[in-house]
């Protein structure tokens, strides 16, 4: 057990930091807080001894915890897949690998079996091809006995051990200008994000998403939402990418990832948001229930999360009231990182929510924090019109033309002038003229403070 002295200076954990247990800790005195491997502990404060903290478990019990048994949760990052060459033929693969050394390899889409892949590897001046079969969302080499969640995991395994192949994978044949990237399931494990199926209870269906159904459930007595990946070939990667973005984000107004379950299906577990999505909330309650104060609270919450994303250079790309969730305390949180990307991003020929997307993003695929600001303007309009569909009475196919010619929506009935001013600034045609979320947040904070 790892109670040895630390070799390098330990990192100091701050109050509120979440850490995950690497080992079981039975505790040896009344002051100790026992825990099991995989448990989540929230740091309450440090002590004079750098190896001990005061912590709290998920049932709210507090006590002393040894830092050497715990690990900060690590962010899961995308890996480049330089060895993935997409849909090239067997002949092209052989040409590329000609005269290469033993163990040089690449992966490509299978020509004969859609959804499968082929691993091509050099051995004794010949190229061997292995079929990689996708079966129930898992990958395996034909005839092999290991299953993998992603190509990255597969490559990692056969890099360490030939395990039945003619040779270990020694060196990738890099695809020029490759921009493919993927997430490895192992990183979720080593980062402390994998939770066990048996800690999870699943109750009723509460929503349907693009990747799969959403259920209400509990995880160790905490209310959670469970998004289950439907059995859809290769959607696994998109789903895991959404989860990987969530591992690096923590803000009171962002829907928090609790963990992922990796089994026959992949499940994404997030905090439960009892009042569902904002657009349905606004429509079903309407003017009789939702007050001016609620409206400013929602918009300020959302702006606060967006300011955080802006500070991290993350572009949401699908900001809309349908992607905001509301919890039982009426706190609004931004969800749906499915499309989120770092920095300035060009889409892979996507399908966009036209009425929410900025003109330059639709035209040139230029998605930035400024295009998110445009969408935020539309979202403000949704909030103050109690969930109406934007640009009422304009056919979808004409919206872009009207907007490009300078048409802008009028203020919804009863919308405060300050809010409408923000909308109009968000809808400046020149992205540079639009305010930052930081600037808007300041205005909304003031407005919130003066709205009763
Ligand atoms: P997608 O973006 O793939 O369409 P969502 O994540 O938006 O899927 O989920 C679909 C619906 O499920 C939401 O509109 C909401 O009603 C419900 N839902 C999703 N996540 C939660 C959650 N954490 N708490 C409560 N309801 C949720
Ligand atoms: Mg959604």
Answer yes or no: is 1 within a domain.
no
Question: What does the pLDDT read at residue 344?
Answer: 36
Residue 318 catalytic? yes
Cα(329) to ligand 2 centroid in Å equals 21
Residues 323, 262 share a domain: no
CB contact at 8 A, 46 and 13: yes
Cα gap 179→261, rounded to integer Å: 28
**To which H or E segment does residue 310 belong?**
helix 292-311
Q: Comparing C-alpha atoms, which of 134, 151, 235, 159 is closest to residue 186?
A: 151
Question: From the alpha carbon of 271, which atom of ligand 1 is closest?
Answer: 23
Residues 156, 56 share a domain: no
The two three-digit tokens of residue 256, written as one number: 């928090």
The CATH number assigned to the domain holding 121 equals 3.30.505.10
Do you know the residue count of the chain?
452
Question: What does the pLDDT read at residue 133?
Answer: 93
Answer yes or no: is 338 within a domain.
yes
Q: Comparing C-alpha atoms, which of 20, 3, 10, 17 is closest to residue 50?
A: 10
DSSP 340-357: -EESSB--SS----GGGS
Q: Comparing C-alpha atoms, which of 403, 407, 375 is closest to residue 299?
A: 375
CB count in 10 Å sphere of residue 34: 14
Residues 295, 362 share a domain: yes
Residues with CB under 6 A from ligand 1: 206-211, 214, 225, 255, 270, 272-273, 276-277, 323, 325, 335-336, 338
Residues 307, 410 share a domain: yes
Q: Whose CA is nearest to atom 11 of ligand 1?
A: 207
Residues 353, 433 share a domain: yes
The two three-digit tokens of residue 97, written as one number: 């690998």
Question: From the alpha carbon of 274, which atom of ligand 1 is closest?
Answer: 25
* Domain end residue (candidates: 182, 204, 231): 182
DSSP 40-100: EEEEEEE-SSTTEEEEE-TTS-EEEEEGGGEEEPPPP--EE-TTB--S--HHHHHHHHTTP
Q: Hey, which bits of 220-286 come out as E strands?
A: 222-228, 257-262, 266-271
Question: What does the pLDDT read at residue 339?
Answer: 59
Measured on CA atoms in the order 148, 151, 156, 160, is the torsion positive or negative? positive
Q: Comparing C-alpha atoms, which of 279, 268, 97, 285 is closest to residue 195?
A: 268
Mutating to test ligand 1, I would choose from 222, 335, 339, 351 the residue with most ligand atoms within 8 A of its C-beta, which is 335
Residues 421, 293 share a domain: yes
Answer yes or no: is 12 within a domain.
no
Residues 401, 285 share a domain: yes
CB contact at 8 A, 118 and 110: yes
Residues 355, 295 share a domain: yes
Q: Comparing C-alpha atoms, which of 268, 263, 166 is closest to residue 210?
A: 268
Residues 61, 99 share a domain: no
Average pLDDT per consecutive 10 residues, the chain (452 residues; last block may be shorter)? 42 85 90 90 91 92 93 81 90 95 95 90 96 88 89 92 95 80 78 88 90 89 87 63 84 91 85 96 96 97 96 92 97 82 44 89 92 98 98 93 96 97 98 98 97 88
**Is pTM beyond 0.85 here?**
no
Question: What does the pLDDT read at residue 179?
Answer: 64
The tally of domains found in the chain comes to: 4
Residue in 153, 318, 336, 372 annotated catalytic: 318
Cα(270) to ligand 2 centroid in Å equals 14
Residues 418, 323 share a domain: yes
Point out the ligand nearest to the CA of residue 338.
1
Cα(80) to ligand 2 centroid in Å equals 27
Q: Whose CA is nearest to atom 10 of ligand 1?
A: 209
Question: What does the pLDDT read at residue 426?
Answer: 98
Question: From the alpha carbon of 255, which atom of ligand 1 is closest?
Answer: 23
What is the β-pairing status of strands 181-182 and 79-80?
Answer: antiparallel
Task: Name, in order, each residue with C-beta under 8 angstroms of 126's C-beta and a sequence gap of 6 or more.
Answer: none
2: phi then psi, degrees, rounded to nearest 5: -90, 60
Q: Which domain holds residue 361?
A: 278-450
Cα(111) to ligand 1 centroid in Å equals 37
- Residues β-bridged to residue 29: none
The CATH number assigned to the domain holding 266 equals 3.30.200.20
The CATH number assigned to the domain holding 400 equals 1.10.510.10
Mutating to test ligand 1, I would choose from 206, 222, 258, 387 the residue with most ligand atoms within 8 A of its C-beta, which is 206
Cα(323) to ligand 2 centroid in Å equals 5
Residues 115, 169 share a domain: yes
Cα(1) to ligand 2 centroid in Å equals 44
Q: Whose CA is nearest to atom 20 of ligand 1?
A: 225
Question: From the alpha carbon of 280, which atom of ligand 1 is closest?
Answer: 16
Query: Burial level of 18, CB count in 10 A (0-12/13-18/19+)?
Result: middle
Tell me the angle at which helices 369-384 and 292-311 cross, rounded to the nearest 10 degrees. 170
Answer yes or no: is 11 within a domain.
no
DSSP 219-232: ETTEEEEEEEPPS-
* Domain end residue (candidates: 182, 206, 225): 182
Question: What does the pLDDT read at residue 346?
Answer: 40
Answer yes or no: is 322 within a domain.
yes
* Domain end residue (candidates: 271, 305, 330): 271
Residues 321, 413 share a domain: yes
Answer yes or no: is 3 within a domain.
no
Task: Name, in order, each residue with C-beta under 8 angstroms of 433's C-beta and a sequence gap of 6 or more.
Answer: 425
Question: From the alpha carbon of 272, which atom of ligand 1 is closest?
Answer: 24
């Amino acid at each position: 057990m790892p109670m040895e002295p630390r070799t390098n200076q330990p990192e100091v954990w701050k109050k509120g930091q979440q850490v995950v247990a690497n080992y079981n800790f039975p505790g040896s005195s009344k002051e100790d807080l026992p825990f099991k491997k995989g448990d989540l502990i929230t740091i309450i404060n440090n002590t004079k001894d750098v190896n001990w903290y005061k912590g709290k478990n998920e049932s709210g019990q507090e006590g002393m915890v040894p830092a050497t048994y715990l690990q900060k949760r690590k962010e899961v990052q995308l890996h480049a897949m330089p060895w993935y060459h997409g849909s090239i033929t067997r002949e092209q693969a052989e040409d590329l690998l000609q005269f290469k050394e033993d163990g040089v390899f690449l992966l490509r889409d299978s020509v004969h079996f859609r959804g499968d892949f082929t691993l091509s590897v050099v051995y004794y001046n010949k190229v061997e091809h292995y079929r990689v079969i996708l079966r129930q969302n898992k990958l395996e080499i034909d005839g092999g006995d290991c299953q993998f969640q992603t190509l990255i995991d597969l490559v990692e395994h056969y890099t360490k051990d030939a395990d039945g192949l003619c040779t270990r994978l020694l060196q990738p044949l890099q695809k020029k200008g490759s921009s493919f990237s993927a997430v490895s399931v192992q990183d979720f494990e080593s980062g402390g994000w994998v939770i066990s199926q048996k800690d999870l209870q699943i109750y009723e269906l509460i929503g349907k998403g693009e990747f799969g159904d959403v259920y209400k459930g509990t995880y160790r007595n905490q209310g959670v939402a469970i998004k289950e990946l439907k059995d859809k070939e290769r959607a696994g990667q998109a789903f895991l990418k959404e989860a990987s973005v969530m591992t690096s984000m923590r803000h009171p107004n962002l829907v928090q990832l609790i963990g992922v379950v990796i089994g026959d299906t992949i499940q994404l577990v997030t905090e439960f948001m009892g009042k569902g999505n904002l657009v349905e909330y606004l429509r079903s309650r309407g003017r009789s229930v939702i007050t001016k104060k609620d409206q400013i609270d929602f918009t300020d919450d959302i702006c606060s999360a967006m300011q955080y994303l802006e500070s991290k250079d993350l572009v949401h790309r699908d900001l809309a009231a349908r992607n905001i969730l509301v919890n039982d305390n009426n706190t609004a949180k931004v969800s749906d990182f499915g499309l989120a990307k770092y920095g300035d991003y060009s889409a892979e020929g996507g399908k966009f929510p036209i009425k929410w997307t900025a003109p330059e993003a639709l035209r040139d695929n230029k998605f930035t924090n400024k295009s998110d600001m445009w969408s935020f303007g539309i979202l403000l309009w949704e909030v103050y019109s109690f969930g109406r569909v934007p640009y009422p009475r304009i056919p979808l196919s004409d919206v872009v033309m009207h907007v490009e010619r300078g048409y802008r929506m009028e203020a919804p009935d009863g919308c405060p002038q300050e809010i409408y001013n923000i909308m109009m600034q968000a809808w400046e045609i020149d992205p540079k003229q639009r305010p930052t979320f930081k600037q808007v947040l300041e205005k909304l904070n003031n407005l919130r403070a003066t709205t009763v």
